[in-house]
């Protein structure tokens, strides 16, 4: 099927000079702030991505997109496992804000309780700040167990817990012994690390130490894998699962989207890990490979082309003709439904401009969806990613571990003597690599972005305003805190954390949803109505919809006068 | 849904489940947004600020800007002075607000950061430009709730800004001004209060005032500091007012009392003007303290409300209602439900304060003496009581929708936060017109439920 070619009506002469834009963004800052931000605003070079000052401290007083370590631990990897009863140890707020505010959709089987609908915390009061909160936490765990009888309990720390020195790990240990269920503690105080990313790492460590590997019985399946770093926002994990099932691939565990404690326990029994969000879960992928011999590959189910590429990559790994043929069949089938929609929407929006500032992988993945419909990415950046997510994992050895990162435990993992069973022999792995296959690799965002495009890490409110002013993007992908700032400026904004309560956007069916959603946002009449008619049209040309009704009264002086007034002084 | 919630009530003292409150700083941030040209600043880890901005944004669907001291572990150990100083320097240079309203968090409170000292130091070092103002409120999250956080920030406005200029009584009587402290209500409510005040013809200062800040029109332009909000000068002049009308024991009375203590401004302590009687009291107070007559237009609004109350009385009468929310809201709403001859059965707030239980019990003593009234409660407890003895209607914030859904109870969203409907952003709940809207919502919920659930033979065209 031929698709309309790119036709830009307006000459691209006015394309802003990124270096000048950067200078303009930095101009207002105090010197120290400008110096730091300059390292986080980079003119891209896809050939050799320049170093970006990612995962560094947020500057006090600038308006940032970032959240805290607790949010990272409660929000991803650990948080969305629906049948672990999670107790936030601390004052009431942290647990309250994290309660159902991320869209980790779940369909628990009958008889299973979905604890995501509950917000449980110790509602710490001044007494516990002064005298310690361990006693209250212990009692809270006992009460939770008595009421709910969960399979497992997780305790999450908030800022004061670390400061007053509550030993939540000992409490967890004692409770585990007393109740006979898994009780685990996460020291994810908000002030640790520079963003939610530290919380992801802490959640990875805890889930790996306390859950993964507890059940050695694998699911019966010819091709068996986990999807890591997929949180089922708006049902994305279900789309991916459905697609893989069509191909004949079984997903044991999606970490963490619509996933149960029991599924996570046996997630080490698979043949392959596919990593969606590299930032939030590469730690578990690495540790599972070291301990159990499960190779990991980067996957991306966001965008039709990206999804097809990912399916082929997975098929290649499993090295089965049957699977490879099936994957091609599925791709062909899915593309039949997708192509006409994509072509229609592409025709309307080819050449339009998008900018993406969000998360730790979404600002990269969603570029593929916009490119699918011919749109251009004028600028992008993550909220909490590290250099490897921008520049690729090849820079890992050169990343300096600073004091904030050193705070977060690095687990020492060795091959499990009994359970280290590599899916592939070293020879097979080498053969795959020789055929162009890459393992444990993520090339990052920058290699896929155009030269000189602005890459902005942890974009500030001020920089966002400047960016909109100068680039005038047609749409921006961002989060809840920016959404209405952007839309007040007349630019539609797609929340890429919550999807604005729509979705799914993953895999082929999700891509179609996304194209349609972008189409809706770019064609909505709302933005066209911003200027009222009396501010844009010469008064004489104001359309009088009901003027004809006055026709019969033309001779009547009064009607004439009314008409004159309505037409702004010019008699029609 | 909520499958772990059973009718059997087990002892629970340490575990909070499904809170009906949140922490102080979000209230302080909301109050600060009601000052014109104000940047709320959260002194703590940036997660607090992110959570508060996100949640306020979800409730208002408007830009909510605020800054943070972005503590990392270093600041938590060595204190937040360096972070605060850098933050103030950045805020005034980049965003240029007229005023910064600092609130603390559990983090900065636990380490004992001294905010007034920090402000003093920043002033001496010239970090705070001449003519700019920094105020603060202590809002540790392990004390009180979002409502007390709001109250603390409003009190801070009085402490830092209000002054008596020394004008003589005669001078003040020339153009008497009243203060209105509206409480933790939505911008649409504040707008409605101002409309009523205008109808009455009283000169007032309403603070905080988030109308014109968090209910902005779409005109293609973003303004970090929009035209709304009580100006510093207005709050300053509150010290010269002839009186204060403060709406709500928990959110507004502390500031009114502070103003009385500091500037000798007498105060009338009222409840939020939800429903008929509380609006009557508000208008009566405006009349008495403002020295004006009540215009006929307001009398007509009252009459229309009363007319509707009579017309639809049969649908309200005797209905058992569960109410959850913030104490000032719940007290006033309970009063309105009594006026409608409904029977509040469970009345809870997540906040603490004996006044809540005393006042609600007093309101219910004739009509529903058997009602369970609890401060420091939560939605899990409420749900368990409902499972034991059901109700006809549930009124509360959006979090209650899970209970309503699973128990198939008609549900009216009321209070903070409302995260899944739009009306609160534009239509007031206060005043006679607001009462009509609340009544309509209750009536619709009850009748929609009846229409959906009733057998065909009682499905009626006319109600």
pLDDT of A557 reads: 56
Q: Are B17 and B2 in contact (CB under 8 A)?
A: no
The answer to whether position B136 is within a domain reads yes
pLDDT of A566 reads: 57
Residue of A27, A57, A58, A61 to mutate for B, most B C-beta atoms under 10 A: A61
Tell me how far apart the terminal alpha carbons of chain A are, to the nearest angstrom. Answer: 52
The answer to whether position B19 is within a domain reads no
Q: B411 lies in which domain range? A: 301-458
Structure tokens, A230: 């997929």
Q: Is the pLDDT of residue B175 over 90?
A: no
Question: Using CB atoms and an 8 Å cut-off, which of residues 366-405 of chain A contact chain B?
Answer: 403-404
Question: Number of structural domains, chain B?
Answer: 3
Same-domain check for residues B41 and B134: yes
Same-domain check for residues B454 and B306: yes
Same-domain check for residues B401 and B433: yes
Write out the catalytic residue numbers of B: 106, 110
Give the minimum alpha-carbon distance from A79 to chain B in angstroms, rounded to a whole number.
Answer: 16
Nearest residue, CB atoms, A163 vs list B6, B76, B218 = B76
pLDDT tens sequence across A49-99: 999 999 999 999 999 999 999 999 999 999 999 999 999 999 999 999 999
Q: Is the pLDDT of residue A225 over 60?
A: yes
* Cα distance between residue B26 and residue B162, in whole Å: 23
Q: Is the pLDDT of residue A6 over 60?
A: no
Nearest residue, CB atoms, B107 vs list A140, A191, A488 = A191
pLDDT tens sequence across B232-265: 999 999 999 999 999 999 999 999 999 999 999 9
Residue B345 DSSP SS3: strand
Same-domain check for residues B249 and B306: no
The answer to whether position B254 is within a domain reads yes
Nearest residue, CB atoms, A129 vs list B67, B70, B142 = B142
What mean pLDDT value characterizes chain A?
93
Task: Answer whether B16 sits within 8 Å of A484, measured CB to CB.
Answer: no
Task: Answer whether A126 sits within 8 Å of B86, measured CB to CB.
Answer: no
Same-domain check for residues B275 and B382: no
Task: Answer whether B86 sits within 8 Å of A60, measured CB to CB.
Answer: yes
**Which CATH number belongs to the domain containing residue B223 in this structure?**
3.40.50.1980
- The answer, for A193 touching chain B at a CB cutoff of 8 Å, is yes
Q: Is the pLDDT of residue B173 over 80?
A: no
Structure tokens, B166: 């020394």
pLDDT tens sequence across A139-181: 999 999 999 999 999 999 999 999 999 999 999 999 999 999 9
Question: Using CB atoms and an 8 Å cut-off, which of residues 135-174 of chain A contact chain B?
Answer: 136-137, 139-140, 143-144, 146-148, 158-160, 162-164
Task: Answer whether A191 sits within 8 Å of B51, measured CB to CB.
Answer: no
Task: Answer whether B45 sits within 8 Å of A190, measured CB to CB.
Answer: yes
Q: What value does the mean pLDDT take over residues A112-119?
A: 97
Q: What value does the mean pLDDT take over residues B361-372?
A: 98
Structure tokens, B426: 């534009």
pLDDT of A10 reads: 41
Same-domain check for residues B359 and B249: no
- The answer, for A75 touching chain B at a CB cutoff of 8 Å, is no
Question: Using CB atoms and an 8 Å cut-off, which of residues 104-133 of chain A contact chain B?
Answer: 112-115, 117-126, 128-129
Nearest CA in chain B to A500: B58
- The answer, for A61 touching chain B at a CB cutoff of 8 Å, is yes
Q: What percent of chain B clears pLDDT 90, i.e. is strictly above it?
A: 96
Give the minimum alpha-carbon distance from B288 to chain A in angstroms, rounded to a whole number.
Answer: 41
Task: Answer whether B94 sits within 8 Å of A62, measured CB to CB.
Answer: yes
Phi, psi (rounded to 5 degrees) for A460:
-90, 165
pLDDT tens sequence across B219-234: 999 999 999 999 999 9
- The answer, for B106 touching chain A at a CB cutoff of 8 Å, is yes
pLDDT of A368 reads: 94
Stronger pLDDT, A7 or B273, i.e. the higher one: B273
The answer to whether position B14 is within a domain reads no
What separation in angstroms does the CA of B221 have from each of A21, A491, A532, B216, B224?
20, 10, 14, 10, 10
Give the minimum alpha-carbon distance from B79 to chain A in angstroms, rounded to a whole number.
Answer: 12
Question: Using CB atoms and an 8 Å cut-off, which of residues 476-495 of chain A contact chain B?
Answer: 479-481, 483-485, 487-490
Same-domain check for residues B272 and B372: no
Nearest residue, CB atoms, B50 vs list A57, A67, A194 = A67
* Cα distance between residue B429 and residue B421, in whole Å: 14
Task: Answer whether B11 sits within 8 Å of A143, measured CB to CB.
Answer: yes
Structure tokens, A163: 């400061």
Same-domain check for residues B150 and B188: no
What separation in angstroms does the CA of B94 have from each of A455, A464, B71, B330, B399?
21, 13, 20, 41, 37
Structure tokens, B299: 């009398």
Upstream peptide bond of B159 is cis (omega within 30 degrees of 0): no
What mean pLDDT value characterizes chain B?
97
Same-domain check for residues B316 and B435: yes
Q: What is the 3-state secondary structure (H, E, C) of A221-244?
A: CCCEEEEECCCCECCHHHHHHHHH
> Long-range contacts of range A25-33, CB-CB < 8 Å, 24 or more positions apart?
A25/A462, A25/A463, A25/A466, A25/A467, A28/A462, A28/B93, A28/B94, A29/A462, A29/B90, A29/B93, A29/B94, A30/B89, A30/B90, A30/B93, A30/B94, A32/B86, A33/A59, A33/A62, A33/B90, A33/B93, A33/B94
pLDDT of A445 reads: 97
pLDDT tens sequence across B58-106: 999 999 999 999 999 888 888 999 999 999 999 999 999 999 999 999 9
Q: What value does the mean pLDDT take over residues A304-309?
A: 97
pLDDT tens sequence across B403-424: 999 999 999 999 999 999 999 9
Residue B53: Cβ within 10 Å count: 26
The answer to whether position B252 is within a domain reads yes
Sign of CA dihedral B427, B430, B433, B434: positive
The answer to whether position B325 is within a domain reads yes
The answer to whether position B339 is within a domain reads yes
Same-domain check for residues B267 and B408: no
* Chain A contact set for B16 (CB, 8 A): 92, 95, 119-123
pLDDT of B48 reads: 97
Q: Is the pLDDT of residue A8 over 60?
A: no
Structure tokens, B340: 């409608």
DSSP A303-319: SHHHHHHHHHHHHHHHT
Task: Answer whether B54 sits within 8 Å of A101, measured CB to CB.
Answer: yes
* Chain A contact set for B75 (CB, 8 A): 191
* Chain B contact set for A403 (CB, 8 A): 73-74
Beta bridge partners of A250: A224
Q: Are A353 and A378 in contact (CB under 8 A)?
A: yes
Q: How many CB pairs lie under 8 A apart between chains A and B?
A: 261
pLDDT of A568 reads: 56
The alpha carbon of residue A280 and the mean position of all alpha carbons in its chain are separated, in whole angstroms, by: 9
pLDDT tens sequence across A417-454: 999 999 999 999 999 999 999 999 999 999 999 999 99
pLDDT class for A564, splitting at 50, 70, 90? Answer: low
pLDDT tens sequence across B194-216: 999 999 999 999 999 999 999 99
Nearest CA in chain A to B62: A484
- The answer, for B364 touching chain A at a CB cutoff of 8 Å, is no
Same-domain check for residues B80 and B197: no
Task: Answer whether B47 sits within 8 Å of A70, measured CB to CB.
Answer: yes
Residue of A26, A60, A163 to mutate for B, most B C-beta atoms under 10 A: A60
Task: Answer whether A404 sits within 8 Å of B72, measured CB to CB.
Answer: yes
pLDDT of A571 reads: 43
pLDDT of A12 reads: 46
Nearest CA in chain B to A148: B4
CATH of A69-190 given 3.40.50.1980, 3.30.70.360, 3.30.300.130, 3.40.50.10680 = 3.40.50.1980
- The answer, for B45 touching chain A at a CB cutoff of 8 Å, is yes
Task: Answer whether A129 sits within 8 Å of B69, measured CB to CB.
Answer: no
Q: What percent of chain A clears pLDDT 90, i.e. is strictly above it?
A: 88
Same-domain check for residues B286 and B183: yes
Residues of chain A with CATH 3.40.50.1980: 69-190
Task: Answer whether B62 sits within 8 Å of A137, measured CB to CB.
Answer: no
Q: Is the pLDDT of residue A260 over 90?
A: yes
Task: Answer whether A67 sits within 8 Å of B143, measured CB to CB.
Answer: no
Q: What value does the mean pLDDT take over residues A560-570?
A: 56
- The answer, for B70 touching chain A at a CB cutoff of 8 Å, is yes
Nearest CA in chain A to B21: A92
Task: Answer whether B4 sits within 8 Å of A92, measured CB to CB.
Answer: no
Q: What percent of chain B clears pLDDT 70, i.e. is strictly above it?
A: 100
Q: What value does the mean pLDDT take over residues A552-567?
A: 56
* Chain A contact set for B218 (CB, 8 A): 487-488, 490, 526, 530
Task: Answer whether A92 sits within 8 Å of B16, measured CB to CB.
Answer: yes
Nearest residue, CB atoms, A92 vs list B2, B22, B399 = B22
pLDDT tens sequence across A366-404: 999 999 999 999 999 999 999 999 999 999 999 998 888
The answer to whether position B7 is within a domain reads no
Residue of A73, A75, A96, A187 to mutate for B, most B C-beta atoms under 10 A: A96
Residue of B222, B349, B378 to mutate for A, most A C-beta atoms under 10 A: B222
Query: Which of these three, B238, B270, B295, is where a domain ends?
Result: B295
Task: Answer whether B94 sits within 8 Å of A97, measured CB to CB.
Answer: no
Q: Is the pLDDT of residue B172 over 50?
A: yes
* Cα distance between residue B263 and residue A325, in whole Å: 83
């Amino acid at each position: 099927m031929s698709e309309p070619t790119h036709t830009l009506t307006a000459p691209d002469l006015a394309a802003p000079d990124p270096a000048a834009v950067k200078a303009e963004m930095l101009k207002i800052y105090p010197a120290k702030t400008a110096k730091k931000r300059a390292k986080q605003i980079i003119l891209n070079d896809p050939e050799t991505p320049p170093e970006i000052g990612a995962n560094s401290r947020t500057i006090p007083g600038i308006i940032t997109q970032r959240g805290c370590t607790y949010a990272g631990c409660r929000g991803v990897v650990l948080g969305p496992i629906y049948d672990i009863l999670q107790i936030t140890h601390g004052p009431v707020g942290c647990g309250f804000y994290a309660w159902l505010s991320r869209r980790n959709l779940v369909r628990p089987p009958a008889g299973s309780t979905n604890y995501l609908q509950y917000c449980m915390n110790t509602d710490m009061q001044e007494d516990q700040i002064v005298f310690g909160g361990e006693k209250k936490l212990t009692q809270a765990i006992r009460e939770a167990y008595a009421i709910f009888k969960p399979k497992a309990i997780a305790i999450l720390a908030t800022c004061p817990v670390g400061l007053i020195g509550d030993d939540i790990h000992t409490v967890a240990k004692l409770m585990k012994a007393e109740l006979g269920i898994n009780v685990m503690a996460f020291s994810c105080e908000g002030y640790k690390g520079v963003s939610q990313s530290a919380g992801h790492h802490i959640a990875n460590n805890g889930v790996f130490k306390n859950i993964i590997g507890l059940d050695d019985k694998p699911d019966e399946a010819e091709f068996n894998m986990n999807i890591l770093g997929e949180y089922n926002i708006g049902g994305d994990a279900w789309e991916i699962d459905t697609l893989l099932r069509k191909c004949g691939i079984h997903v044991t565990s999606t970490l963490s989207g619509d996933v149960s404690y029991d599924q996570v326990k046996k997630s080490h029994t698979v043949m392959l890990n596919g990593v969606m969000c590299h930032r939030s879960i590469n730690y578990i992928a690495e540790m599972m490979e070291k301990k159990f011999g499960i190779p990991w590959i980067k996957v991306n189910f966001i965008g039709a082309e990206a999804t097809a590429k990912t399916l082929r990559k997975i098929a290649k790994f499993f090295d089965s003709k049957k699977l490879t043929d099936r994957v091609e069949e599925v791709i062909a089938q899915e593309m039949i439904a997708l192509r006409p929609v994509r072509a229609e929407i592409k025709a309307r929006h080819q050449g339009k401009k998008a900018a993406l500032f969000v998360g730790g992988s979404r600002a990269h993945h969603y570029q593929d969806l916009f490119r699918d419909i011919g749109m251009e990415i004028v600028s992008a950046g993550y909220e909490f990613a590290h250099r490897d997510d921008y520049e690729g994992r090849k820079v890992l050895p050169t990343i300096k571990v600073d004091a904030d990162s050193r705070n977060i435990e690095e687990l020492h993992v060795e091959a499990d003597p009994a359970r280290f069973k590599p899916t592939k022999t070293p020879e097979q792995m080498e053969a795959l690599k020789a055929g162009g296959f890459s393992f444990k690799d993520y090339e990052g965002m920058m290699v896929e972005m155009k030269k000189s495009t602005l890459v902005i890490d942890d974009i500030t409110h001020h920089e966002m305003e400047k960016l909109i002013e100068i680039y005038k993007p047609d749409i921006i992908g961002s989060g809840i805190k920016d959404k209405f700032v952007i839309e007040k400026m007349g630019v539609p904004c797609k929340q890429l954390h919550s999807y604005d309560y729509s979705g799914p956007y993953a895999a082929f069916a999700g891509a179609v949803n996304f194209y349609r959603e972008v189409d809706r946002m770019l064609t909505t009449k709302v933005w066209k109505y911003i200027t009222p008619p009396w501010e844009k049209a010469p008064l004489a040309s104001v359309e009088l919809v009901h003027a004809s009704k006055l026709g019969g009264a033309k001779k009547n002086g009064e009607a004439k006068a009314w008409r004159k007034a309505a037409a702004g002084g010019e008699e029609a | 849904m909520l499958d772990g919630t059973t009718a059997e009530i087990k002892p629970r003292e340490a575990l909070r489940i499904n809170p009906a409150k949140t922490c102080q700083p979000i209230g302080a941030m909301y109050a600060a947004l009601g000052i014109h040209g104000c940047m709320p600043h959260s002194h703590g880890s940036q997660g607090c600020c992110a959570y508060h901005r996100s949640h306020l944004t979800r409730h208002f669907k408007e830009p909510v800007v605020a800054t943070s001291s972005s503590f990392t572990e270093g600041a938590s150990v060595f204190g937040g002075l360096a972070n605060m100083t850098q933050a103030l320097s950045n805020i005034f240079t980049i965003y240029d607000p007229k005023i910064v309203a600092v609130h603390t968090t559990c983090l900065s409170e636990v380490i004992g950061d001294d905010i007034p000292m920090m402000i003093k130091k920043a002033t001496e070092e010239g970090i705070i430009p001449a003519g700019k103002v920094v105020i603060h409120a202590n809002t540790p999250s392990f004390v009180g709730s979002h409502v007390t956080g709001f109250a603390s920030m409003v009190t801070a406005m009085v402490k830092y800004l209000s002054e008596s200029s020394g004008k003589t009584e005669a001078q003040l009587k020339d153009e008497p001004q009243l203060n209105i402290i509206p409480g933790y209500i939505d911008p649409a409510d504040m707008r409605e209060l101002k409309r009523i005040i205008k109808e009455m013809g009283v000169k007032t200062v309403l603070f905080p005032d988030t109308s014109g800040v968090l209910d902005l029109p779409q005109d293609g332009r973003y303004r970090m500091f929009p035209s709304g909000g009580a100006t510093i000068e207005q709050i300053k002049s509150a010290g010269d007012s002839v009186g204060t009308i403060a709406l709500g024991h928990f959110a507004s009375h502390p500031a009114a009392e502070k103003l009385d203590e500091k500037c000798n401004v007498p105060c009338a302590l009222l409840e939020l003007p939800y429903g008929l009687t509380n609006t009557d009291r508000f208008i009566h107070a405006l009349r008495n303290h403002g020295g004006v007559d009540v215009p006929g237009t307001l009398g007509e609004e009252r009459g229309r409300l009363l007319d509707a109350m009579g017309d639809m009385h049969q649908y309200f009468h005797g209905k058992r209602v569960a109410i959850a929310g913030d104490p000032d809201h719940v007290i006033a709403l309970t009063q309105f439900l009594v006026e409608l001859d409904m029977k509040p059965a469970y009345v809870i707030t997540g906040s603490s304060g004996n006044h809540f239980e005393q006042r609600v019990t007093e309101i219910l003593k004739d009509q529903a003496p058997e009602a369970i009234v609890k401060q420091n409660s939560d939605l899990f407890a409420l749900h368990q009581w409902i499972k034991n003895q059901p109700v006809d209607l549930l009124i509360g914030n959006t979090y209650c929708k899970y209970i309503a859904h699973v128990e198939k109870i008609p549900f009216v969203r009321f209070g903070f936060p409302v995260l899944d409907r739009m009306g609160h952003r534009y239509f007031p709940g206060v005043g006679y017109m607001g009462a009509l809207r609340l009544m309509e919502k209750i009536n619709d919920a009850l009748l929609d439920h009846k229409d959906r659930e009733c057998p065909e033979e009682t499905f009626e065209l006319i109600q």
